[in-house]
Amino acid sequence: MKAIDVIAAVLLVIGGLNWGLVAVSHFDLVAALFGMKFGETSTLSSIVYALVGLSALYQAVSFKGIQHRWGHSQVPARAN
C-alpha cells in the first residue's frame, strides 16, 4: 500500500503544480505536455486529470490509514 500512497502523493504534487501554473501564468502544463493549447483536452490529458482527481479522493478517504502505515498515527500532546 505504501507504493499507492507515494503514487497518489506524486500525482497530487503534479496536479497542484499544474493548478499553480494555471493561476500564476495561465499555463496548463498537462495540455502543453500533450501538444495542446491552454484549456484544450484530449483523451490522454483527461486520463491524467482523472488520475489526479482519484489520487485526491484516495488521500482524503484514507488519510488516517496512510498516517498509520507511515508510522505517524499519534500526534504528540501539547504541554499546558
Q: What is the pLDDT of residue 39?
A: 85
Q: What is the pLDDT of residue 61?
A: 83
Is 15 contained in some domain?
yes
Is 78 contained in some domain?
no
Q: What is the pLDDT of residue 76?
A: 59
Q: What is the pLDDT of residue 60?
A: 84
Split into its structural domains, the chain has a count of 1
Q: Which domain holds residue 15?
A: 2-69
Q: What is the pLDDT of residue 35?
A: 92
Instruction: Give the ranges where 1-80 is alpha helix by DSSP (H).
Output: 2-25, 29-33, 43-61, 63-69
Q: Which positions of the chain have pLDDT values less than 50? A: none
Q: What is the pLDDT of residue 63?
A: 67
Is 46 contained in some domain?
yes
Is 56 contained in some domain?
yes
Q: Find the length of the chain.
A: 80
Is 76 contained in some domain?
no
Q: What is the pLDDT of residue 19?
A: 92
Q: What is the pLDDT of residue 24?
A: 95
Q: Which three cell numbers mark 50?
A: 482523472
Q: What is the pLDDT of residue 2?
A: 78
Rounded to 5°, the CA angle 66-70-72 comes to 90
